[in-house]
Amino acid sequence: MTDHPNDNSTTRIGVFLPRLSDYGGVERVAYRLAGMLADAGYAVEFVCARVEAEPPVGVTPVVVGRPGPFKWMKVSWYAYAAERTRLKKAYDLTVGLGEVLNMDLLRISGGPRKSFWPLSVRAYPQGVKREWKKWRRRLSPANHISHWIRNHQSREENVLATVSHLSRDWLLDAYPWLDGDAIHVIYNQPDLSRFQPPTSAQQVEGRKRFGMADGEVAIVFAGTAFDRKGLRPSIQAMAELPDHFRLYVAGGRKPGDFARLAEELGVAARVRFLGKVGDIQSLYHAGDISLLPTFHDTCANVVPESLACGLKMIGSASDGSSFFLPERWIVQDPEDGGEIAAKVLAASQEEEAVSFSWPENVACGIEPYLGIVQDMLRDKGK
């Protein structure tokens, strides 16, 4: 952070998200956004259910809790407690990044149910498992509460921002009363001081750390929701790739059915489950290709992170961040392990190093939000 004159200290801003954390996609955005606003001199409070990281300098957590044994209770309580806090605190401006009500500025990073359900359910094998997933979603009180909150958010008189052009299109399809021209599209951008091409020494050290042999093609798969992110077809693709191709899976807790699938396909020795990798850039530095054939993502952080680290990136047409990828690296059907294998193989044979630069005419990262906040406060006479 850079130093700024503290001439905004009487302007109070509330940032709303259940978790104050620097781990996770939307959590990292909220964490950095709160820190940037505090660095600009504003009095920033972070209204959350729990604190999982040291707050940024100048940011004060307001913990409202998220009690209850069931998800619907947690979602309902946080929405209620956050709204009660908003009214009590009377902030000059509120910024919401989750399932909250009546925000001045609302960042929508998840897709509406109309797009999410039909796309993401394809991540589950056809038959009993897929049908069971459909029924669980229909019967889940938490899903219906979340849907009601999203519908309410779409009808508020607020400023909307979303994370990709694809996400904006999904929003307009689900909520046709929205003004597409008024929705800010701001892509996720990783911390470029952390995510950058590796030095030779970093690459050698990374390959040694993760046990990558000389001559092998190391494929990196990073994600937590293994089903939706396309791990099943990624493992299926391994059965169609040469033996010196290996898949390194970061994230998740227990490999479970995915490890069994690798066994059944005879590729278990070529699929390694790493668990949580906190310094994920070290895995990108070690790998040759990044793979994320996700069934639904508004803007998966893996794509810009991998590109910033100089990796070839095989993404999905159902991911808004594929906006940054050449057509030859985009999987059209995430269910098709054969298509995934063909894309990975073709990318591995490309000799040119990846050189990625952010398009100058596309809003990315955290900084554009500061401009929006300043414009909104100016309109309010603050």
Give the tens place of pLDDT for each residue, 120-146: 999 998 899 889 999 999 999 999 999
Domain boundaries, the chain: 12-189+363-379, 200-348
Please give the residue that has the higher pLDDT: either 298 or 382: 298
- Between the CA atoms of 48, 49, 54 and 60, what dihedral angle is there, to the nearest 10 degrees? 40
pLDDT tens readout for residues 198-212: 999 999 999 999 999
Q: How far is CA 334 from the centre of its chain?
A: 18
What mean pLDDT value characterizes the chain?
92
Name the percent of the chain lying above pLDDT 90. Answer: 75
Specify whether domain 12-189+363-379 bears CATH 3.20.20.70.
no
Do 12-189+363-379 and 200-348 come out as alike in CATH topology? yes
Look at the block and give the residue holding tokens 């050449």. 326
pLDDT score of 148 more than 60? yes
Q: In angstroms, rounded to a whole number, what is the distance separating the alpha carbons of residues 291 and 336?
A: 14
What's the pLDDT at 2?
A: 43
pTM (2 d.p.): 0.87
CATH topology of domain 200-348: Rossmann fold (3.40.50)
How far is it, in rounded angstroms, from Cα 309 to Cα 326?
Answer: 17
Question: Residue 45 — φ and ψ, nearest 5°?
Answer: -120, 140
Per DSSP, the three-state class of 161 is strand
